[in-house]
Amino acid sequence: MTPEDVRLLSPEIALVGLALLVILLDLVVKQKGLLGLLAAIGLLVPLGLSIWLWMDVADQPDHRLVGIFGTLVVDRFALFFKFLVLGVAALVVLASSDYARHVREHRGEYYGLLLFSATGMMLLAATEELIAIYVALELTTLPLIALAAFLKTSRSSESGLKFLVLSAVSSALLLYGIALVYGFTGSTFLSDIARQAAFLTEAGEIFGGSSALLLGVVLIIAGFGFKISAAPFHMWVPDVYEGAPTPVTAYLSVASKAAGFAVLLRVLYGGFEVFQLDWQILLAVMAAASMTIGNLVAIAQTSVKRLLAYSTIAHAGYLLVGLAAIAPTTADGDTSGPSSVLYYLGAYAATNLAAFFAVMAIANKVGSDQISDFAGISRRAPLLAFALALSLVALIGVPPTGIFIAKLYIFGSALESGLLWLVVVGVANTVVSAYYYLRVVRTMYLEPPTSEGAVPTSASFKLALGVSALGVLVFGFLPGPLLRLVELSAGTLGATVVEYVGLLPIG
Amino acid sequence: MIQEAAVWAIFLLPLGSFVAIALVIRPFLNRFSGLAALTTITTIGASFALSLVALGSVIDNGEVLFAPHEWLSLGALQINLGIILDPLTSIMLVVVTGVSLMVQVYSLGYMRGDPGFARYYALMSLFTASMIGLVIASNVVQLYVFWELVGVCSYLLIGFWFTRPAAAAAAKKAFVVTRIGDLGFLIAILYLFFNTAAFAENGLNALEIADISAGVQLGLLGGTALTLMVMGIFAGAMGKSAQFPLHIWLPDAMEGPTPVSSLIHAATMVAAGVFLIARFFPVVEASVHAMQIIALVGAITAIFAATMGLVMNDIKRVLAYSTISQLGYMVAALGVGAYVPAIFHLFTHAFFKALLFMGAGSVNHASGTFDMRYMGGLRKYMPWTYMLVLIGSLSLAGIFPLSGFWSKDEILAHAWGGGSTVDTVVFWLLFAAVPMTAFYIFRMVFMTFHGEFRGGVEAEEQDAGIPSHQGEHKVHLAESPWVMVLPMGLLAVASVVAGGLVNPVVDILGIPAHWFADFLGGKSDIILSLAGLSLAVAVLGIGTAVFLFLVPNLLPGPLGAPFRLAHHLLSRKYYMDELLEGGVTRRGFYGVGGGSLDWMDRKIIDNFAETIGWSSMNFGRVVALLQTGQAQGYVLIVTLGAIVIGGVFFAFMWT
């Protein structure tokens, strides 16, 4: 590792250092509450380093820096996800302060695992090499499995075990796919793969080369499909989400999913652009299936956590619509599909976090996550109920909230790509989803309360919920800044693709 | 030259007042609800001052252009946030903030001691901000957002005393009826959305108001499509400005607090429809058919509402029908192309009608009732209110030299000079409404202020059989406090001078002739003989009122058989409520339309929907069956999923 490599890796190094520091301090600090505060404040260091790299990257001719033998890529796309992951991690850490009392003994490990997982997510978005992607994926997933089982209740342990078994299966699919791709292209670097795949396709090697390669692509998509909880790889989601500690569920549903989409975008647009029309139809079908299954099954749920679990499956479907939108929409040949996905991820992060945080506080107080036990909560905790109602309404995609703009953007790009049928499915699903989201709102506001007592929350929790709820509205009222950011970030993704096309041997 | 930030401040100050009251004062400082009033009056006062600066700037430099800010840009669709500061907007700003300021001060007295005092001021701040946002909006999306927001505020304020069933019902009625019109407006906006590409080819943005006019000139919009789009816009205006047959919500809206009626349902929001047509006037003008329809609807509304005003016994309802009638004048004026007279009448009407409503509120403050049959003789107890209401009434009746005389006669002159059949019909309808206006408003003055006092709310409750509350005197015969009289006085001054001095027919006191018309960039004048004639018939109307209600102190009833029938018809409002609610809605909509729809609904839609519901529920159940909780089963599905996907791909490859 050269000093330059260290500099490029500095946000991740700082994050690992912070995780270790929190775990070590847990041994000596008596006031455990300080640990969460330290973790949250400590996240400013990697954030600062990422901002520093962002400014550095802006000065580069092709807006990217490459290190560690070409495996580590620092471009705006990677940095966008660093910002997103760090922001989500900070909010989850802050919101955990109330919940962490349940895990009095191992609070240091709790925060430490959260931060290790964040490191993996940041790396996932920052590499263009398949082995490094796999390692980063495991670094993301293993701490999450431990966190899912953290409560040591039977539900929580079940959740952790299922997560472990199913992610092992998905890893196997992914590795098999990677092996196939490596076998036929002779490289694990996405740029080489893109070049080789184009060459094979052009040479007419359909049966000998590209079809097996295509199987590799299908298996890789299946492996990541698990990560982003897309149908038919979504089966683990409701069980794991329900059993895991609620802050971990929130983290899983937002950060882990964002990292999955980051790496899918990288692999599909960076390595397998040649197969565009093939994976477009695959992703479109997966999108339709995820939206429909997620929304229809959510209607039948009685637990708020399971309802939100199915809702995240449905949202994975909406996001896949953006992934399937491959047609160029701008004058310089870029497609707006990827940038619409990034916008959706940002808006969705704020909204889903707000929803889960509010559910966490209310369920903690009423001692249940059944929808019926949320009755009349608007009178006991008006602000929490308002935050939950706001985020649920926002999840439908009603103006003026962030997800409305995001859906407009994603469906717009899909229309440009000729996916009218998929947009129709998406809009119909949006209507269906209103039913179960509003059912929760109605229960909270219109039904008489079943028990009494206010819902106390800590200051750091209020901060986390307030910031998320503010995000819901800001991304809806003032979409401009985030739109510019995602266009810049996705632009570098397009730039690398253009670069590969220029290198194609067929000219 | 005014800065852009200053114009935004006009809008943001009352909005900030709303936020401060809703988020800080009401939750934490509700005991000091006076703070809410103070915040509102200060911020709206500052907005008024800035509006005057803006008006001055436009007078000196003409329209001030600000580049719009991009709000959202997705592909070809670009939505901006921007300000139009042209003569029309600058006049509207002064009217809105000026009247609002007067109303807020007046409300200090009228709403004193109300438990919802802070909520009242929060909503009034929000309404004022929304109304300002509406008049400065530079594109249709922005305009539509505020258009709906003023509707929401109106709904919330009509239903301010929501524990009274009548208020809740009136609020709902207002909201639903105006929404019918809004649907037309929305369709017009959607039509523009679909034309985004055609506009973009010419470097125009289909959603920017200025670009829409340019597009019409370039021929991007035209023919029947343009007429239909204009009719959509006009439908929105009909709902908001209570034009026939969508006028039925406005009289019921009088259930709201009287200052609300004064601000929203007399001076500003109901004028938003007129403003909307004026804003799109270059577009509207391009369609001759639409103009004719607008003119006729306005004229019919003017006379129709005036006849109903003749017989109402509720003082606020007399004023409500009067407002509908006067809005009809404005709409008809726009329809015959009299742009300047229409805006001029909007301007003068805002002042004298707000004044008259405040007078009604002041009278209610003393007598406790709105029913004029239980008033009478109040002249002796509240001389100031009497004098000020008299000024407002004379202005409304169109008596020289008060403001209503000038603006109304300009409309009449323009319609007379138009020459076409439609213009002539419109002229005669409007002319016939002149003596009626004078009659009903002086009937109101005489029934309220002259004769002997008839017991107020106490007598009303006695007649209705409601037991009177022991020892509680609801009737309080005295002049209203100065916070209520002072704003009325200022509005009365405006009612006197806003006509003759703003748009004089000859140079006077250094004000050039036709100053207002030149400012708005149009023409207006009065025809002397016509003005004399209309003045004469107005005096005739007043004379009839004197004869019927002052001299023998006759109350309606002993008027003779032929009149009784007419009276009955009018006092039941031509059975419009029954026709629209019972006939059109219940029998036509629910009965004929509903019956066939019901059949379709039950036989076709329901079966279809039930099939969908049934299949989705079963689909959910089947999927839930798969969700066994067994990890092995999940692995199986994941693997099967991957195999199916791979298999399908290979099948496609080999074919």
Q: What is the average pLDDT across B364-374?
A: 83
Distance CA B302, CA B431 (A): 10
pLDDT at A449 over 60: yes
Q: Do A233 and B641 touch (CB under 8 A)?
A: yes
Q: Do A211 and B646 touch (CB under 8 A)?
A: no
Q: Do A219 and B617 touch (CB under 8 A)?
A: no
A391 class by beta-carbon count within 10 Å (0-12 exposed, 13-18 middle, 19+ buried): buried
A204 near A265, Cβ under 8 Å?
Answer: no
* Residue A505 pLDDT: 42
A338 near A270, Cβ under 8 Å?
Answer: no
pLDDT at B298 over 80: yes
Q: Do A211 and B650 touch (CB under 8 A)?
A: yes
Distance from CA of A480 to the nearest CA of B (A): 6
Q: How confident is the model at residue B35 (pLDDT cuts 50, 70, 90)?
A: confident
* Residue A122 pLDDT: 95
pLDDT at A179 over 70: yes
Q: Which residues of A touch B (CB under 8 A)?
A: 161-162, 165-166, 169-170, 173, 206-207, 211, 214-215, 218-219, 222, 226, 231-233, 235-236, 238-239, 278, 282, 293, 296-297, 299-300, 329, 336, 405, 408-409, 412, 416, 432, 479-480, 483
User: What phi and psi values does residue B644 have, to the nearest 5 degrees?
Assistant: -60, -45
**pTM to 2 decimal places:** 0.77
Question: Of B288-302, B438-452, B598-612, which one has max mean pLDDT?
Answer: B288-302
Distance from CA of A224 to the nearest CA of B (A): 12
Identify the weakest region by mean pLDDT among A296-305, B89-98, B563-572: B563-572
pLDDT at B568 over 70: no
Q: Which residues of A touch B75 (CB under 8 A)?
A: 329, 336, 412, 416
B305: nearest Cα among B351, B263, B270, B335: B270
Query: Is residue A506 one of the residues assigned to a domain?
Result: no
* Residue A501 pLDDT: 42
Distance CA B619, CA B624 (A): 8
A212, closest residue in chain B (CA to CA)? B650
Higher pLDDT, A155 or A17: A17
pLDDT at A428 over 80: yes
pLDDT at A165 over 50: yes
* Residue B52 pLDDT: 92
A298, closest residue in chain B (CA to CA)? B620
Query: Is residue A209 one of the residues assigned to a domain?
Result: yes
CA within 13 Å, CB half, B428: 6
| Single-letter code of the amino acid located at B279 | R
Closest CB from B71, B620, B635 relative to A166:
B635
Number of inter-chain CB pairs under 8 A, A vs B: 90
Distance CA B51, CA B43 (A): 12
Query: Is residue A143 one of the residues assigned to a domain?
Result: yes
**β A64-67/A72-75 pair status:** antiparallel
Closest CB from A206, A235, A296 relative to B634:
A235
Q: What is the average pLDDT across B576-597?
A: 59
Q: Do B653 and A206 touch (CB under 8 A)?
A: yes
Q: What is the average pLDDT across A226-243?
A: 89
- Strand partners for A127: A72
Helix (H, G, I), strand (E, B) or coil at B314: strand
> Considering its fold, how many domains does chain A have in total?
1
Distance CA A397, CA A317 (A): 14
Prior bond of B401 cis (ω within 30°):
yes
To the nearest whole number, what is the mean pLDDT of chain B? Answer: 83
Written as six digits, the tokens of A177 are 């796919």
Query: Is residue A380 one of the residues assigned to a domain?
Result: yes
Mutation for A interface: B81, B612, B615, B638, most A CBs within 10 A: B638
Higher pLDDT, B380 or B615: B380
Q: Which residues of B touch A (CB under 8 A)?
A: 70-75, 77, 616-617, 619-621, 623-624, 626-627, 629, 631, 633-635, 637-642, 645-646, 649-650, 653
Higher pLDDT, A430 or A498: A430
Distance CA A380, CA B134 (A): 38
Distant-in-sequence, close-in-space partners of B489: CB < 8 Å, separation ≥ 6? B384, B388
Residue A449 region, left (φ>0) first, then alpha (ψ -120 to 50), else beta?
beta
* Residue B472 pLDDT: 52
pLDDT at A185 over 80: yes
The C-alpha angle A341, A345, A348, rounded to 5 degrees, equals 130
The C-alpha angle B383, B389, B394, rounded to 5 degrees, equals 125
* Residue B642 pLDDT: 84
pLDDT at B101 over 90: yes
pLDDT at A471 over 90: yes
- Biggest CA-to-CA distance, chain B: 104
Distance CA A355, CA A442 (A): 15
Identify the weakest region by mean pLDDT among A209-213, A396-400, B4-8, B648-652: A209-213
A496 near A60, Cβ under 8 Å?
Answer: no
B483 class by beta-carbon count within 10 Å (0-12 exposed, 13-18 middle, 19+ buried): middle
User: What phi and psi values does residue B406 have, to the nearest 5 degrees?
Assistant: -70, -50
Residue A393 to residues A238, A440, A447, B440: CA-CA distances in angstroms? Answer: 21, 10, 18, 50
To the nearest 10°, report the CA torsion of A282, A283, A288, A294. 120
A171: nearest Cα among A195, A140, A200, A197: A140
Residue A467 to residues A224, A357, A386, B190, B541: CA-CA distances in angstroms? Answer: 30, 11, 14, 35, 65
The C-alpha angle B531, B535, B539, rounded to 5 degrees, equals 175
Q: B51-88 pLDDT, tens per residue?
A: 999 998 888 888 888 888 888 877 667 888 889 998 99
pLDDT at A504 over 50: no
What secondary structure, in 3-state letters, does A361-378 show? HHHHHHCCCEHHHHCCHH
Q: Do B72 and A416 touch (CB under 8 A)?
A: no
User: What phi and psi values does residue A402 have, to the nearest 5 degrees?
Assistant: -60, -40
Distance CA A181, CA B310 (A): 88
What secondary structure, in 3-state letters, does B67-82 show? CCEEEEEECCEEEEEC
A150 near A246, Cβ under 8 Å?
Answer: no
- Biggest CA-to-CA distance, chain A: 73
Distant-in-sequence, close-in-space partners of B580: CB < 8 Å, separation ≥ 6? B245, B248
Domain residues for the domain of A88 are 3-501
Mutation for B interface: A166, A173, A218, A415, most B CBs within 10 A: A218
Q: Do B646 and A282 touch (CB under 8 A)?
A: no
Residue B337 region, left (φ>0) first, then alpha (ψ -120 to 50), else beta?
left
Q: A362-380 pLDDT, tens per residue?
A: 888 888 888 888 888 888 8
* Residue B328 pLDDT: 92
Distance from CA of A202 to the nearest CA of B (A): 16
Q: How confident is the model at residue A208 (pLDDT cuts 50, 70, 90)?
A: very low
Q: B328-365 pLDDT, tens per residue?
A: 999 999 999 888 899 999 999 999 999 999 999 988 88
Distance CA A475, CA A394 (A): 11
Query: Is residue A507 one of the residues assigned to a domain?
Result: no
- Strand partners for A172: none
B294: nearest Cα among B275, B308, B277, B279: B277
Closest CB from B75, B623, B627 relative to A329:
B75
* Residue B128 pLDDT: 93
User: What phi and psi values does residue A116 have, to the nearest 5 degrees?
Assistant: -60, -45
Residue B369 region, left (φ>0) first, then alpha (ψ -120 to 50), else beta?
beta
Q: Which residues of B touch A231 (CB under 8 A)?
A: 641
pLDDT at A10 over 90: yes
- Strand partners for B27: none
* Residue A500 pLDDT: 40
Q: Do B637 and A232 touch (CB under 8 A)?
A: yes
Closest CB from B71, B621, B653 relative to A480:
B71
B308: nearest Cα among B573, B580, B577: B573
B398 near B405, Cβ under 8 Å?
Answer: yes
Query: Is residue A129 one of the residues assigned to a domain?
Result: yes
* Residue A147 pLDDT: 92
Q: How confident is the model at residue A317 (pLDDT cuts 50, 70, 90)?
A: very high
Identify the weakest region by mean pLDDT among A283-297, B152-166, B257-271, B540-554: B540-554
A354 near A468, Cβ under 8 Å?
Answer: yes
pLDDT at A459 over 50: yes
Distance CA A95, CA A80 (A): 23
Distance CA B252, CA B421 (A): 35
Closest CB from A165, A233, A238 relative to B631:
A165
Q: Do A408 and B621 touch (CB under 8 A)?
A: no
Q: Which residues of A touch B633 (CB under 8 A)?
A: 235
* Residue B367 pLDDT: 83
Mutation for A interface: B627, B639, B655, most A CBs within 10 A: B627
A321: nearest Cα among A374, A243, A397: A397
Q: What is the average pLDDT across A96-121?
A: 85
Query: Is residue A140 one of the residues assigned to a domain?
Result: yes
* Residue B612 pLDDT: 67
User: What phi and psi values does residue B450 have, to the nearest 5 degrees?
Assistant: -105, 175
